[in-house]
Amino acid sequence: MALFSDQPGDEGLPGRKRGLAMAAVMTMTTMAVFDGSMINIALPQIARSLDASLSATVWVSNGYLLSAAMTLAIFAALSSRIGFRSIFAFGLGLFTLASVGCALSSSLDMLVIMRVLQGIGGAATLSIGPAILRSVFPNRLLGRILGLNALLIGTSTAIAPILGGTILSTLSWQWLFAINIPLGIIALLLTLRVIPNNPALKREPFDYAGALLSAVALGALIMAADAFTHPGNGDLTTAVIFASIAILT
């Protein structure tokens, strides 16, 4: 296969290690995209199982997406100071452990907290997945591998509801998270084995205050947009408050 062929002067990793690194990145990408999409069809079952209202159960999905959106840019900035492999391994490990927590959750509060942690782990990996592929593949194959990665994301988004429905037709909602555990362990082992531990590209201190403010602003903007979509004076007031926070930060 051309993606794993070696030619004189190629940058990055040799063919076999290149394939293993691609498997680690794309496995994690698939899990992160799936968990952002397929959980939606399980919300009614989760609400019944945990004796919660449907309106509250929506945060099982919203918590994941919100935490991922708020931290995506932060991890992208941190990767240039800490290194790609460290950030990716951290995100992958956190995502896998949070999947265990989701599968074992006995209350809605615990499930939402685990989903927020899942979103943070997913953001850490999605923010630098293409950069890792760029570092392990030679320039002559960059267009092909990045296009394949984009195709994987699009296909996973389309297939996720179908896969989720198939799982729910025979198993409980906990299995939507449990399937991440063996895949996450395999991807983590491959990450630690083949992805290069590149040195930090930047040495200047990280702007923690700016990162926190940007996360708060983005989160507030998303919450404001969500509140505006729901009728009612209370939701309108909430939307105005969150919009003001976003503007002030």
pLDDT in 10s for each residue of the chain, 249 residues: 677 777 777 777 787 888 899 999 999 999 998 888 888 888 999 999 998 888 788 889 888 988 888 888 888 888 777 888 889 999 999 999 999 999 999 899 899 999 999 999 999 998 888 888 888 888 888 888 888 888 988 888 888 888 888 888 888 899 999 999 999 999 999 999 998 887 655 566 655 565 566 666 655 555 555 554 455 444 444 444 444 444 444
- 171, 227: one domain: no
- 187, 232: one domain: no
Residue 9 lies in a domain: no
The three-class DSSP label of residue 238 is helix
- 128, 19: one domain: yes
- 169, 231: one domain: no
Cβ neighbours for 129, distance < 8 A, ≥ 6 positions apart: 25, 28, 29, 88, 149
Look up residue 41 and give its DSSP letter. Answer: G
Compute CA 224 distance to the chain's CA centroid, rounded to the nearest angstrom.
Answer: 22
- 176, 230: one domain: no
Residue 7 lies in a domain: no
166: number of Cβ within 10 Å: 11
- 241, 144: one domain: no
Look up residue 83 and give its DSSP letter. Answer: -
Residue 23: CATH number of its domain: 1.20.1250.20
- 103, 32: one domain: yes
Q: Tell me which of 202, 220, 235 is where a domain ends.
A: 202
As given in the structure block, the two tokens for residue 144 are 């092909």
Taking the complete model, does pTM exceed 0.85, yes or no? no
- 213, 191: one domain: no
- 64, 127: one domain: yes
- 58, 153: one domain: yes
- 111, 233: one domain: no
Helices 108-126 and 59-82 cross at an angle (nearest 10°) of 40
Residue 244 lies in a domain: yes
Residue 2 lies in a domain: no
Into how many domains does the chain fold?
2
φ, ψ (nearest 5 deg) of residue 218: -65, -45
Residue 3 lies in a domain: no
Length of the chain: 249
Residue 4 lies in a domain: no
Structural domain for 196, as ranges: 14-202
- 52, 169: one domain: yes
